[in-house]
Chains A and B, each alone.
Chain A
Amino acid sequence: MKAKGKNILLTIVTLCLSLFVLFTVQPTHHTTAYAADDSLQKIKDRGKIVMATSPDYPPYEFQVSKNGKSRIVGMDVDIMKQVAKDLGVKLEIKSMSYDSVLVAVETGKADVAMSGINPTAKRRQSVDFSEIYYNGGQSFLINKTDVGKYKNKAALAHKKIGAQTGTLQYNLAKSKIPGATVKGMDKNTDLVLALKTHKIDALGIETPSAEAYVKNDHDLAMIKSGYHLNKNETGSAMAFKKGSGTLAAAVNKSIDKIKAKHMTTQYLADAGKYMKVNTTNTSMIHYWTYFAKGIEYTLLISAISVIFGVLLGTILALMRFSKSKLLHAISVAYVEFVRGTPLMVQVMFVYFGVGIIVNLPALLSGIIAVSLNSGAYVEEIIRGGINSVDKGQTEASASLGLAKSDTMRFVVLPQALKNIWPALGNEFVSLVKESSIVSIIGVTDLIYQLNIVRADTYRGVMPVFVAMCIYFVMTFILTRVLNYFEGRMKHAK
């Protein structure tokens, strides 16, 4: 009992220590951010400006495939290309979920976030904004069958309104429509699906987007919002990290030029053309390259993560059995902490949080997070495996004079590994499924590709169904392969 109490204490101390280290890292970051405004110079030195965007928002930004290659297009991209040209640098686009784009500039993953973002007062507290480059206005998408029912905003009172989480549309629906229930989702594609299946009655959305949907989906109609709004909050602007004055000033010059020449009209027309190309063939086979790429990344992430997960898990398990109280406590604390936090949060923490210190690419961050997560679960599996080896084996080994490390290496671990093979296989199968979470930081795994296809084709369910089948086929084949090896191991005995 006493020993147990001591262990818990050690665990808590280790946890506190690691948290302490994390927090002490933070302030140094802030001081450097405010130190001197070299935001423009840095980009010029690098010869490249990095833009974070969530390409599921036509006509602002969306993904199209041409000749098997997919790329991000749209008005935002065209504007940014012009800005990059004016700055004399190249443009690199990083795609990620909408929730992540602002975090990306805050943490230096990108120089500019551009994703049809409205510069609300709240957002201005955490990032700097450019001038408004486009003012699309607010609308609602509704089902065509409801056109007679919902003629204007007033008719939507006490109805269910959908909007993208964290957007202006969400806040407006909440504050300006009396009695409305506001349902937030991460993606407009999901919201449109919710609208069409009558889970919501109307969808708050920017006018250009609404127009794009109405044009491409004959079941939908739109109504103007009729909100009375401050123009400075409702238009779209680019976001920069706080203290990027020189960069913002340079970008604003380009925006002034674009506005003066009414270049956005042309950009929107171009985007419209892409969207037309996009909707001619919405069969899933047409998009097979998307799915293939998704499968490739999903398998890549799972395979690498399972290898590192097993390595890490073995080390953690050995630490757990170590005589050293400290190693034991670290292992326990690690496993408890990782198992006690969602994988999604860990993925975001590795990409954005650790990104403050080292700039890790999304794919690498994803692999690291999934491996670290898997390690904790594998530790538990291996620990069980080690415990399952008969005590007589250790005794026999000790009676021959073998050191503890040799006993582990030559006698216990090989037997443990055989016992835990089914459980490890299970872990691999669940990794294939759980790795889907990395899509939130823009890793092009199957889920990410699925969402692109949905945004592209305006089809809500079919891509989901296809992805579901792909996942099943992958895990089914994997299970068969693992069973085969399990059978062989039994025979080898």
Chain B
Amino acid sequence: MQNKPLVEVKKLQKNYGDTEVLKEIDGTVMPGQVICVIGPSGSGKSTFLRCLNMLEKPTAGQVLFEGKDTSKFSEEELTTLRERMGMVFQSFNLFPNLTVLDNLKLAPIRVKKMSDKEAEDKALSLLKRVGLEEKANVYPSSLSGGQAQRVAIARALAMDPEMLLFDEPTSALDPEMVGEVLAVMKELAEDGMTMVVVTHEMGFAREVANEVWFMADGYILEKNKPNEMFEHPQNPRTKDFISKIINS
């Protein structure tokens, strides 16, 4: 593991009108780290994630990417940032007007200026990696939720990002499909991908994460190794949350 942080978050704050969603967030993501963000609904986990790739503009504070302040990025620099920091959404957000293959090819061709052939080869090998090569020519509407999310991961990977953000990737899935998506994510983690995962899958967090962050009320209340977090939570709010999850 290298020593320079990939992402540093300093006193990040985000308001929607009068509502303070993120009050003060600090954190560091090192290259190759897998960080799982857990916490009750409405604690600001998704907003925090979306501030990392500037889908949401922070109200105050800084997000540094490789030491550079992302809030000062030009439109082009933002594009480059997002190229290098892929994102996977809860509701997949595949483009329904394009086939699975074209979903994967669009950004490499338009952004990376890849040739059609190159993009296609890459897309097919990624589909193979998530086990969906036979779905290359179908439209997203004919995929199951689990398949759609695996395609969405492959689509993010097509841009060769250095880091992936996952926004509750399994929350919209039927229970029997959660496993296939987590398996793909676990594989990615094992291959050394830097990941920030907002999730309710405590098993995954425990097994795969290097660090677990507990968020509540717009703060990160506790950061710890997974085992420590789940077995010896320090903060009373964390204790309460973990016990509720384990007993449910």
Min CB distance B186 to A, Å, is: 22
Contact of A400 with B by CB under 8 A? yes
Q: Main SS of chain A's interface residues? A: helix
Residue in contact with A399 in the complex, picked from B80, B82, B91, B110, CB distance below 8 Å: B82
Q: CA of A395 to CA of B82 in the docked complex: distance in angstroms?
A: 11
Contact of B86 with A by CB under 8 A? yes
Residue in contact with B155 in the complex, picked from A392, A400, A406, A411, CB distance below 8 Å: A400
Min CB distance B155 to A, Å, is: 7
Write 18 A-B pairs (CB below 8 A) sorted by A numbering: A392-B89, A393-B95, A395-B55, A396-B89, A396-B95, A398-B82, A400-B155, A401-B79, A401-B83, A401-B159, A402-B79, A402-B106, A402-B110, A403-B79, A411-B97, A411-B106, A493-B96, A493-B139
Contact B155 A418 (CB under 8 A): no
Contact of B111 with A by CB under 8 A? yes
Contact of A337 with B by CB under 8 A? no
Contact B93 A401 (CB under 8 A): no
Contact of A415 with B by CB under 8 A? yes
Min CB distance A321 to B, Å, is: 16
Contact of B209 with A by CB under 8 A? no
Q: What 4 new A-B contacts, CB under 8 Å, besides A399-B55, A400-B83?
A: A396-B89, A398-B82, A399-B82, A399-B86
Contact of A414 with B by CB under 8 A? yes
The closest CB in chain B to the CB of A404 belongs to B75
Contact of A472 with B by CB under 8 A? no
Contact A410 B110 (CB under 8 A): yes
Contact of B156 with A by CB under 8 A? yes
Contact of B15 with A by CB under 8 A? no
B residues with CB within 8 A of A:
53, 55, 79-80, 82-83, 86-87, 89, 91, 93-98, 106-107, 110-111, 139, 141, 152, 155-156, 159
A residues with CB within 8 A of B:
390, 392-393, 395-403, 406, 410-411, 414-415, 418, 492-493
Q: CA of A400 to CA of B119 in the docked complex: distance in angstroms?
A: 14
Contact A400 B96, CB 8 Å, known A406-B110, A493-B141: no
Contact B97 A415 (CB under 8 A): yes
Contact A418 B107, CB 8 Å, known A392-B91, A401-B80, A401-B82: no
Contact B107 A400 (CB under 8 A): yes
Central interface residue in B53, B94, B97, by most chain A CB within 10 Å: B97
Q: CA of A396 to CA of B155 in the docked complex: distance in angstroms?
A: 10
Q: CA of A397 to CA of B86 in the docked complex: distance in angstroms?
A: 11
Q: Which residues from chain A contact B141 at a C-beta distance below 8 Å?
A: 493
Contact A395 B93 (CB under 8 A): yes
Residue in contact with B95 in the complex, picked from A398, A401, A411, CB distance below 8 Å: A411
Q: CA of A90 to CA of B152 in the docked complex: distance in angstroms?
A: 72
Q: Which residues from chain A contact B156 at a C-beta distance below 8 Å?
A: 399-400
Min CB distance B172 to A, Å, is: 11
Min CB distance B90 to A, Å, is: 9
Q: CA of A396 to CA of B95 in the docked complex: distance in angstroms?
A: 9
Min CB distance A391 to B, Å, is: 9
The closest CB in chain B to the CB of A417 belongs to B97
Contact A399 B53 (CB under 8 A): yes
Q: Which residues from chain B contact A492 at a C-beta distance below 8 Å?
A: 139
Q: Which residues from chain B contact A410 at a C-beta distance below 8 Å?
A: 95, 98, 106, 110
Q: Which residues from chain B contact A393 at a C-beta distance below 8 Å?
A: 93, 95
